[in-house]
Amino acid sequence: MQKNILITGGGGRFGRIAAEMLAEAGHRVFASMREPTGRNRERANALWAQGIDVVAIDVTDDASVERGVRHVLGKAGRIDVLVNNANVTAIGACEAFSAEQARHLFETNVVGTFRSSRAVFPAMRRAQDGLIVNIGSVLGRISLPFIGLFGASKFAVEGLSDALRYEAAPFGIDVVLMQPSVDPIAMYECAQLPADRARTGLDGSAPHSEDAIFDQMMDRFKGCDGPDPADLATRVLRLIEATKGSRPDRIVVGASYGADEINLLARGVQAKAWAELGVEDVGPPPIEHTQTP
């Protein structure tokens, strides 16, 4: 059955691949991005050429998100699936970023996910059906130096996803969190660099500088441990085609670096806490782990 799918961050590496794969599978796809007739015109035109609708949405702006969702509903009548994929990364020591940079990152990665989900909820609730897929990261479970702000934002998406999953379930809406491994290409594609690098006293040339350590980590991730965006898109497609209520709460794609172990532990602790508070566990299936070949 054809689904109407809205993907935020449709101009990014994963967003483009997912939009193309979902459209090829017969679904109607709306890929959102900022300035599709401006600086992102080339990317937008490439998607339009494949029959994919492009929608102008800035997830950091309430009016833009509401307008974009109304546009999709006006053209398609309903939104069956929302993929919250818009995000930015931050590469460098936490201290070297300005408060404004940190605010922008959280506004995009966390509040943007909340804002887009909130915008589609009324239509999904009326339909008593829907799927929200939040693109998180294994860095939402484990912390690494010099990617700390990005990881902190993904930790927040973890908590938000759990709350939304419980609150949405009575209305027939599934919420699933994807946890891809670290993707160096994607990280560099949408990276913020520190505004105040001089503050840390590191010039990038020392063997233990943030540049050296970060490059060493990224070199390790560039091999088989890095997630293939096509694998992630395939998992999203399988989620969309799955039966409502049968979808897992989390899916790890690529090397987990222990995030899958934390998932299992946290799941048990959370279920116990809910039971102690008299809250019924909505009971999603076990977490899935898809290891990249």
**The predicted structure's pLDDT at residue 293:** 39
CATH code at position 146:
3.40.50.720
Locate 130 and state its tokens: 């829907």
**In angstroms, how far is CA 132 from the centroid of its own chain?**
10
Locate 116 and state its tokens: 């887009």
**The predicted structure's pLDDT at residue 67:** 98
- CB under 8 Å to 79, separation ≥6 — which residues? 4, 5, 6, 69, 72, 73, 120, 123, 124, 130
> What is the number of domains present in the chain?
1
The whole domain housing 215 covers 4-290
Give the number of other Cβ atoms within 10 Å of residue 293's Cβ: 7
Given CA atoms 239, 240, 245, 249 in this order, what sign does their dihedral have? positive
How many secondary structure helices (H) and strands (E) does the chain include? 10, 10
Rg (the chain; Cα; Å):
19
One pLDDT digit (tens) per residue for the chain, 293 residues = 899 999 999 988 899 999 999 999 999 999 999 988 888 899 999 999 999 999 999 999 999 999 999 999 999 999 999 999 999 999 888 999 999 999 999 999 999 999 999 999 999 999 999 999 999 999 999 998 888 999 999 999 999 999 999 999 999 999 999 999 887 677 767 778 888 867 765 554 444 556 666 676 677 666 555 667 889 999 999 999 999 989 999 999 988 889 999 999 998 898 888 889 887 776 555 556 554 43
Give the number of other Cβ atoms within 10 Å of residue 280's Cβ: 9
d(CA 152, CA 110): 10
